[in-house]
Amino acid sequence: MDRVRNPFAPGAGNQPPELAGRQAILDRADYTLARAEAGRHAKSFMLIGLRGVGKTVLLNRILNMAQDRKFRALLVEAHEDKALPELLLPSLRQILLGLDQIGRLNETVKRGLRVLKSFATSIKVKYGELEIGLGIEPELGVGDSGDLESDLPEVFAAIGEAAKARASVVVLLIDELQYLEENELSALIMGMHKISQRQLPLVLVGAGLPQLVGNMGRSKSYAERLFEFPMVGALSPSDAAVAIIEPVRNEGERIAKSAVDLMIETSQGYPYFIQTWGYEAWNAAAKSPISKRDVESCEAAVLKNLDESFFRVRFDRLTASEKRYLRAMAELGAGPHRSGDIADVLDVKVQSVAPTRNSLIRKGMIYSPAHGDTAFTGPLFDQFLRRQMPRLDPK
Ligand SMILES: Nc1ncnc2c1ncn2[C@@H]1O[C@H](COP(=O)(O)OP(=O)(O)O)[C@@H](O)[C@H]1O
Ligand SMILES: [Mg+2]
């Protein structure tokens, strides 16, 4: 069928043609923002889920919701090789400048800018010049100790006060939070603790892989009370059907029920896979309705597409022993697996591969769903590994 009109949108962060099965999360976000606007305590939350379930898409939707309410909102993505201050400073600066421009001169907003300036000055040595500009003088002694865990809360508080002074709300959205270092995560949690104690209008909406929950709890035990952790998972069969059928129908085309059922089965309801199957099946079909045979005929194209765009993304950067560890996991199936069983497949002691396992967790490839258990952070990753590395080579 006409490729130009293909509605499906496989790819990290791509807005899907139909956002199926996420109303509960959107409602939660709406209610959190509404409470913040009303000056009520609004509990920040972290979207938790595997790769490809639609966390980034949801963060972008929530960003739009905040902007529709005329809030000051910004979305950033954490990286393994970027420090939190570097990541946040440009956004915080933009938020404060926005608050500054809303109305007449306001001393609380100006103070916010001065605190940010002193924070930027204190971390200059570590991260280089981070321009705040505007000839603002730093607020000496606030947010400039050089210790992130005491400075970031000062900065957050100053921004929260500035937002309150403008009767506005600040929404900070941070993706891939599992990549923050422990002290950064701790600083972020302490910052939100301060905001919550003072009931300031600043909301944090994060997203991350399942290890984020444990990382936060280890960082600060009260994190579990400070935040909600809504899970984002695979779509139910009925939601998956909506995700497939609606985009086709909106283009004035049709798809056979048997084709939809097969796509639900092969994708296991995972949004990234649904988009990819939908996309390839549309292209494979000569005419409407898309048939079960069309879906069957595009399997090779789907796997190629997924291997290149989804599975391989971070895989290529792994070391040989890390790849080998993953491959041993795949030998056992989809998982989760006992660490001892994985070590048995590799014919080594558990302790000797513990560093490899830890670095794979840090790199976001695997996580520990329960003590001693190990699971992939990407659904169907075991199948990819068996395609990539048909045999587990002896060392
Ligand atoms: N609710 C949904 N229904 C259908 N497709 C979705 C849904 N959420 C996300 N997608 C699709 O899934 C893919 C992955 O989304 P993304 O937000 O990048 O996932 P994550 O950030 O969790 O890895 C994208 O192609 C997106 O269009
Ligand atoms: Mg994402």
Question: Tell me: the pLDDT tens digits for 277-314?
Answer: 999 999 999 999 999 999 999 999 999 999 999 999 88
Tell me the mean pLDDT in the region 221-242: 96
- 135 has pLDDT over 80: no
Q: For residue 125, is pLDDT > 70? A: no
Q: How far apart are CA 178 and CA 83, in angstroms?
A: 13
Out of 246, 275, 277, 280, mutate this one to test ligand 1's pocket (max ligand atoms within 8 Å of CB): namely 275
Q: What's the pLDDT band for 134 if we cut at 50, 70, 90?
A: low
CB 272 near ligand 1, within 6 Å = yes
Cα separation, 374 vs 354, whole angstroms: 11
Tell me how far CA of residue 138 lies from CA of 89, 116, 154, in angstroms. Answer: 15, 8, 13
Q: Where are the beta strands (DSSP E) in 152-264?
A: 170-175, 202-208, 227-228
Ligand 1 mutation target, pool 272, 305, 381, most atoms within 8 A of CB: 272
Q: Give the pLDDT of residue 15.
A: 98
Cβ of 21 less than 6 Å from ligand 1 = yes
Percentage, residues of the chain above pLDDT 90:
86
- Asked whether residue 245 carries a pLDDT value surpassing 90, the answer given is yes
Tell me: the pLDDT tens digits for 84-112?
998 999 899 999 999 988 888 889 999 99
Query: How many Å apart are CA 188 and CA 172, to the nearest integer?
Result: 11
- Give the pLDDT of residue 388: 92
What are the residues whose beta carbons fall under 8 Å from the beta carbon of 111, sequence distance 6 or more?
139, 158, 161, 162
Q: Which residue minimizes the CA distance to atom 16 of ligand 1?
A: 54
pLDDT band at residue 394 under the 50/70/90 scheme = confident
User: Model confidence over 338-390: pLDDT tens digits?
Assistant: 999 999 999 999 999 999 999 999 999 999 999 999 999 999 999 999 999 99
DSSP strand E in the chain: where?
A: 44-48, 72-77, 170-175, 202-208, 227-228, 337-338, 366-367, 373-376
Model pTM score: 0.95
Q: Which residue(s) pair with 376 in the sheet? A: 366
pLDDT for residue 102: 83
Band of residue 138 on the pLDDT scale cut at 50, 70, 90: confident
pLDDT given at position 187: 97
Residue 133 has pLDDT above 80, yes or no: no
pLDDT score recorded for residue 295: 98
Ligand 1 proximity of 56 Cβ (cutoff 6 Å): yes
Instruction: Indicate if ligand 1 lies below 6 Å from the C-beta of 313.
Output: no
Q: What values do phi and psi take at 209, rounded to 5?
A: -75, 165
Q: Which pLDDT score, from 0 to 100, does residue 26 have?
A: 98
> Which mutation among 6, 46, 57 tests ligand 1's pocket best, with the greatest number of atoms within 8 A of CB?
57
Q: Quick check: CB of 13 below 6 Å from ligand 1? A: yes
Give residue 360's pLDDT: 97
Confidence check: pLDDT of 173 > 80 = yes
Atom 23 of ligand 1: nearest residue by CA position: 52
**How does the average pLDDT of the chain come out, rounded?**
94
pLDDT of residue 140: 79
Alpha carbons 224 and 220: distance in angstroms, whole number: 8
- Residue 131 pLDDT: 63
Positive or negative: CA dihedral 298, 302, 303, 304: positive
Question: How far apart are the C-alpha atoms of 288 and 307, rounded to whole Å?
Answer: 28
Q: Is the dihedral of CA 204, 205, 211, 217 positive or negative?
A: positive
Which residues, in sequence order, are CB contacts of 130 under 8 Å at separation 6+?
A: 85, 86, 89, 90, 120, 123, 124
> Does any ligand 1 atom lie closer than 6 A to the CB of residue 12?
yes
Task: Give percent of the chain above pLDDT 70.
Answer: 97
For range 157-186, the mean pLDDT: 96
- pLDDT tens string 4-49: 999 999 999 999 999 999 999 999 999 999 999 999 999 999 999 9
Ligand 2 mean position, distance from CA 219 (Å): 23
Dist. CA 292–CA 155, nearest whole Å = 57
DSSP per-residue letters across 305-336: HHIIIIIHHHHTTS-HHHHHHHHHHHHT-SS-
